[in-house]
Chains A and B, each alone.
Chain A
Amino acid sequence: MIAETISIAGHGGDEIEAYTASPSTDAARGGVVVIHHLPGYDRATKEITRRFAELGYDAICPNLYHREAPGAAPDDAAATARAQGGVPDERLIGEVQGAAAHLRSLAHSNGKVGVIGYCSGGRQSVLAACNVDLDAAVDCYGAFVVGTPPEGFPLPISGFPEQIPSLRCPLLGLFGNDDAHPSPADVDELERLLKDAGKTYEFHRYDDAGHAFFSVDRPSYRVAAALDGWERIEAFFSTYLGGN
């Protein structure tokens, strides 16, 4: 495996930092864009990126806070980006588009690219899949795909149910039944929208799991849900990103 930090062309063609990991083989393979959670481009997300390389994919995690805080420690960059209002949706779409184009340009690419995101990145994964040509998307407990944030919400985040009919690829959703955002009712609503629009999707909901159950470095970690979730992700990406 080769893992390194590089520059890619992001939204508007601007250079942004990204962490990449690729298998050291000549096999044709798909690519995976990893969208980090609100706490940032951190060690745990880079571990996830390397895990996708271990699974046989070219993986890339764009630093969504590079513009606000180039070269800063991930937690300081996250704090700076939050203080400035967070990542605008339009910019996020551009960054994922740039990351996907980078993956497709690699020598061993089979042309297929998926996206996965956790927490705020789960919402952004679905948003990207509604606006970027992707082959598979995974939403890990993203809040505000549907639903309205509380009144007076300071960051420019909103649900986008009207975009669900534009979803361009199959969606895998992984949710904890003890989560409040997204709540089981929010997940029901997203499932209804997907069904009504005739989209291909696969949802799994876990008991004894709340938000962030994949986070191995947080008290929210739930080993049973996380292990099953990883198996679902592997199977899903193998189905939609595999082949030559």
Chain B
Amino acid sequence: MCTYATVNVKLEGSAKGAGGVGSKWFHVTDGTVYFDHPVHAMADHTLNIDFADPSRGPGARVAVELTAASARELVSAIEAALASAPAEMTV
């Protein structure tokens, strides 16, 4: 199905990708997270994340498509990495 479900999140950071002109770093302001059909991954549905800067146009986007199991492992890995750092550094 098309789940249509979409979760938008404001982000502060950078990503490396097309960025509108060639492959380079660009400022990321927005994230879009959704579980739906992938463009490229070999699965019916994947957890998709777009890291984007809409002010730079649709091409300023780094996209990932992960199986549900991989996405959950990634969430755990992110939380583990954050937890491993001194608390005062990750406020």
A-to-B contact residues, CB < 8 Å: 37-39, 42, 68-69, 72-73, 75-80, 82-83, 86, 119-120, 141, 143, 149-150, 153-155, 157, 179-182, 210-212, 218-220
| Inter-chain contact B44/A75, CB cutoff 8 Å | no
- Minimum CB–CB distance from B42 to chain A (whole Å) comes to 6
B-to-A contact residues, CB < 8 Å: 1-8, 30, 32, 34, 36-37, 39, 42-44, 50, 52, 54, 57-59, 61, 63
| Inter-chain contact A83/B39, CB cutoff 8 Å | no
Chain B residues contacting A68 (CB-CB under 8 Å) are 58
| Inter-chain contact B37/A38, CB cutoff 8 Å | yes
Given A79-B52, A218-B44, also A38-B2 (CB < 8 A): yes
Chain B residues contacting A219 (CB-CB under 8 Å) are 42-44
| Inter-chain contact B59/A76, CB cutoff 8 Å | yes
A selection of 29 A-B contacts at a CB cut-off of 8 Å is A37-B2, A42-B39, A76-B59, A76-B61, A79-B32, A79-B52, A79-B61, A80-B52, A80-B54, A80-B58, A82-B6, A82-B34, A83-B8, A83-B50, A83-B52, A86-B4, A119-B37, A150-B5, A153-B4, A153-B5, A155-B4, A155-B5, A155-B6, A180-B1, A181-B2, A181-B3, A210-B44, A219-B42, A219-B44
Given A86-B4, A219-B44, also A38-B36 (CB < 8 A): yes
| Inter-chain contact A39/B37, CB cutoff 8 Å | yes
Given A120-B2, A157-B4, also A212-B37 (CB < 8 A): yes
Leading 10 A-B pairs by shortest Cβ distance: A181-B1, A72-B58, A69-B58, A76-B58, A38-B2, A80-B58, A155-B4, A120-B2, A83-B32, A75-B39
- How far is A150 from B3 in the complex, measured between Cα atoms in Å? 10
- Which has the most chain A C-beta neighbours within 10 Å: B50, B58, B63? B58
- How far is A181 from B57 in the complex, measured between Cα atoms in Å? 32
| Inter-chain contact A83/B42, CB cutoff 8 Å | no
- How far is A219 from B38 in the complex, measured between Cα atoms in Å? 11
- How far is A241 from B4 in the complex, measured between Cα atoms in Å? 32
- How far is A80 from B32 in the complex, measured between Cα atoms in Å? 9
What residue in chain B is nearest A70 (Cβ atoms)?
A: B58
| Inter-chain contact B2/A72, CB cutoff 8 Å | no
Chain B residues contacting A180 (CB-CB under 8 Å) are 1
Candidates A37, A72, A143, A179; contact of B59 at CB < 8 Å: A72
- How far is A72 from B18 in the complex, measured between Cα atoms in Å? 12
| Inter-chain contact A220/B52, CB cutoff 8 Å | no
Candidates A79, A83, A149; contact of B4 at CB < 8 Å: A149
